[in-house]
Chains A and B, each alone.
Chain A
């Protein structure tokens, strides 16, 4: 059943996934969704995962990045940025 896992918990799990792969692989929203679905199966829905990503980004713990495709990353100063 969808909605069984608190959105905060999903966002925390997603943050862990992003942290674990930081510096190795840039993850997309889809990767985060797949990771939590693998963990919770049909206890959660797509709407839950969308809400979790929104929470994750709005909390400032992660930001969107873009290089040819969009990614979700830890906030950092990118190499191309000028002061």
Chain B
């Protein structure tokens, strides 16, 4: 293979090669879809129907896991499968008689089917300690322990509406958790520690200074070498400086941990897209099973499940009942950290007498 001519800029292959014949025939001609049961859809087109079986995936998967999936696809779905934007695996079946045996074989291999409609779909998440240099927590581990607790909500459709969970291991938010129903966000709580011996060689001073959203970084000189100093009162521990300057590490085992955010949504259905808002400012990193985090997330899910009306997302439910009641119902402590003090903070201050007593 090494002697092959070097090709560049060829782009991805055409998707046409990977479409099930029934999908090709009905491309753009779908009439409607129906949910047959948890994790199973039928899409009805002009000339036929395609059946979808949606399976969970930890996203961090080995070639063993993928070969298991491709093997099942070959056996049950004519060799056609896809992944969703939330990293579920979807098998696309032309023959509905294959649904049950496929689900059984997935189940025998420990892979649940679900994640549709009024359920918790697969958790969008980031790399964490498995692979990231700026992670304040692990992501795959958090997803595993949280979904062990919330398993029933993946395999059954018993929530008021869909619930989207996401995990990001630092404020970079590679998982874009800022518009999820419930987000688990790793964060640092102490300023970067500056390695003045390596910084002058490793980092470009103007870029490092410019990286700070709060202008807390200034150039300085130590023993004749240009380096930087951090105004620690201004530091919000975002880690952006570390991204451009590896001599400013953020990791602090004693103080790194997890925060919980609620009420975001992407879809335009009923209400406009919304950002998540802070529910719990800090929970400790307590691996391997983060009991404080799983308990907190489960509590929010259960209070939502009990109190929201049908077709209300978490954010829509909170907007109906108001934030004071959200803190009452969940028993989450309201603290000074819930008050915004960054840009546009004023837009979150109450400027009316509209409150529930």
Q: Per the CB under 8 Å rule, do A and B touch in the complex?
A: yes
**Residues of B contacting A69 in the complex (Cβ-Cβ under 8 angstroms):** 207, 244
Chain B residue with the shortest CB-CB distance to A78:
B202
Per-residue interface assignment for chain B, residues 23 to 64, with 1 indicating a CB less than 8 Å from any chain A CB and 0 otherwise = 000000000000000000000000000000000000000000
Q: In the complex, A79→B245 CA distance in Å?
A: 12
Say whether B220 faces chain A, with CB atoms less than 8 Å apart.
no
Which residue among A67, A79, A80 has the maximum number of chain B CB atoms within 10 Å of its CB? A67
**Residues of B contacting A79 in the complex (Cβ-Cβ under 8 angstroms):** 198, 201-202, 246
Q: In the complex, A27→B202 CA distance in Å?
A: 15
Say whether A68 faces chain B, with CB atoms less than 8 Å apart.
yes
Per-residue interface assignment for chain A, residues 15 to 50, with 1 indicating a CB less than 8 Å from any chain B CB and 0 otherwise = 000000000011000000000000000000000000
- CB distance A68 to B198 under 8 Å? no
- CB distance B246 to A80 under 8 Å? yes
Given the known inter-chain contacts A67-B244, A67-B246, A80-B246, please indicate yes or no for A26 contacting B207, CB distance below 8 A.
yes
* Chain B 192-206 interface residues, beta-carbon cutoff 8 Å to A: 198, 201-204, 206
Q: In the complex, A26→B205 CA distance in Å?
A: 11
CB distance from A81 to the nearest CB of B (A): 12
- CB distance A68 to B202 under 8 Å? no
CB distance from B80 to the nearest CB of A (A): 36
- CB distance A68 to B246 under 8 Å? no
Q: In the complex, A80→B202 CA distance in Å?
A: 9
Say whether B211 faces chain A, with CB atoms less than 8 Å apart.
yes
**Residues of A contacting B246 in the complex (Cβ-Cβ under 8 angstroms):** 67, 79-80
Say whether B243 faces chain A, with CB atoms less than 8 Å apart.
yes
Q: In the complex, A53→B240 CA distance in Å?
A: 28
- CB distance A67 to B243 under 8 Å? yes
**Residues of A contacting B207 in the complex (Cβ-Cβ under 8 angstroms):** 26, 67-69
CB distance from A76 to the nearest CB of B (A): 11
Per-residue interface assignment for chain B, residues 227 to 271, with 1 indicating a CB less than 8 Å from any chain A CB and 0 otherwise = 000000000000010011110000000000000000000000000
CB distance from A22 to the nearest CB of B (A): 12
Q: In the complex, A79→B203 CA distance in Å?
A: 11
- CB distance B201 to A68 under 8 Å? no
CB distance from B76 to the nearest CB of A (A): 42
* Chain B 170-205 interface residues, beta-carbon cutoff 8 Å to A: 198, 201-204
Q: In the complex, A75→B203 CA distance in Å?
A: 17
Chain B residue with the shortest CB-CB distance to A79:
B202
Per-residue interface assignment for chain B, residues 71 to 86, with 1 indicating a CB less than 8 Å from any chain A CB and 0 otherwise = 0000000000000000
Q: In the complex, A25→B207 CA distance in Å?
A: 9
Which residue among B198, B207, B240, B245 has the maximum number of chain A CB atoms within 10 Å of its CB? B207
**Residues of A contacting B203 in the complex (Cβ-Cβ under 8 angstroms):** 67
CB distance from B206 to the nearest CB of A (A): 8
CB distance from B250 to the nearest CB of A (A): 14
**Residues of B contacting A25 in the complex (Cβ-Cβ under 8 angstroms):** 204, 206
Partner of A26, one of B198, B204, B240, B243: B204
Chain A residue with the shortest CB-CB distance to B206:
A25
Chain A residue with the shortest CB-CB distance to B243:
A68
**Residues of B contacting A80 in the complex (Cβ-Cβ under 8 angstroms):** 202, 246
CB distance from A78 to the nearest CB of B (A): 9
Q: In the complex, A23→B204 CA distance in Å?
A: 9
CB distance from A64 to the nearest CB of B (A): 14
**Residues of A contacting B202 in the complex (Cβ-Cβ under 8 angstroms):** 79-80
CB distance from B233 to the nearest CB of A (A): 24
What 10 pairs between A and B have smallest CB-CB spacing?
A68-B244, A68-B243, A67-B244, A79-B202, A26-B204, A80-B246, A79-B201, A68-B211, A25-B204, A79-B198
- Other than the known A67-B243, A79-B246, what 15 A-B pairs have Cβ atoms closer than 8 Å? A25-B206, A26-B204, A26-B207, A67-B203, A67-B244, A67-B245, A67-B246, A68-B207, A68-B240, A68-B244, A69-B207, A69-B244, A79-B198, A79-B202, A80-B246
Chain A residues packing against B (C-beta within 8 Å):
25-26, 67-69, 79-80
Chain B residues packing against A (C-beta within 8 Å):
198, 201-204, 206-207, 211, 240, 243-246
What are 6 contact pairs spanning A and B, CB under 8 A? A25-B206, A26-B204, A26-B207, A67-B243, A79-B198, A80-B246
